[in-house]
Amino acid sequence: MKTFLFQGDSITDANREDDDRVNFGLGTGYPLLVAADFLKNRKGDFCFFNRGVSGDRVTDIYARIKEDIINLKPDYMSILVGVNDVAHELTMQCGVDEAKYEKIYSMLIDEIRTALPDIKIIILEPFVLKGKATIEMWEQFRSEVKKRADAAKRVADKYDLSFVPLQNLFDDVSADGNTEYWSADGVHPTSAGHQIIKEELVKAIINQC
């Protein structure tokens, strides 16, 4: 049986419980949907862990690398991080700029692969939509999240990792202006938004198997 680890911020956290008896500790978002798909259709192939933490920046994930990644020894792992690196700077001046984001992301991947040389890592593109959490500083949110997304893609290319684009998908489905159908506040997906991430991540996992 292979182990899959979901890592990231609140989008990944999705109100997960530390108690594994509640949705196996997977939360209510895309990690639960991905796990449900695999557990139903590929019974016995995978077990899943969610270690996303609400509010995390890439630096926070790096700080948790031993306890919440390396010690778990996953065979597969996905990472979705970047929005808080921007949001924390715009609202609290404690974000992570583009250069540092890319540097720490690279350090994260390098150290994970040194400790777990056979791990397969999938990087998910950070994304943002117009919503109550982003509208007041929309231009800054959009441009800065895109910089983190571009940096995440460069990290994926550098280490020859699978990269899952998400921004264009969310832009396309919300082109009619009804962004709230897909994201409750411009950052956190609704159930429909989590389904989009789930579908793209399932395809990436299958390609890695």
Q: What is the pLDDT of residue 20?
A: 60
Residue carrying the six token digits 């065979």: 75
Q: Structure tokens of 182?
A: 């897909």
Supply the mean pLDDT for the chain.
Answer: 95
Does the predicted TM-score (pTM) go above 0.85?
A: yes
Domain CATH for 204: 3.40.50.1110
Q: Which domain holds residue 51?
A: 2-208
Nearest to 168 by CA among 139, 200, 192: 200
Q: What is the count of structural domains for the chain?
A: 1
In this predicted model, what pLDDT tens digit does every residue of 167-202 receive, in sequence order? 999 999 999 999 999 999 999 999 999 999 999 999
DSSP 53-121: -TT--HHHHHHTHHHHTGGG--SEEEEE--HHHHHHHHHHS----HHHHHHHHHHHHHHHHHH-TT-EE
In this predicted model, what pLDDT tens digit does every residue of 17-50 receive, in sequence order? 766 654 578 999 999 999 999 989 887 788 999 9
- The rounded distance, in Å, linking the Cα atoms of 10 and 43 is 28
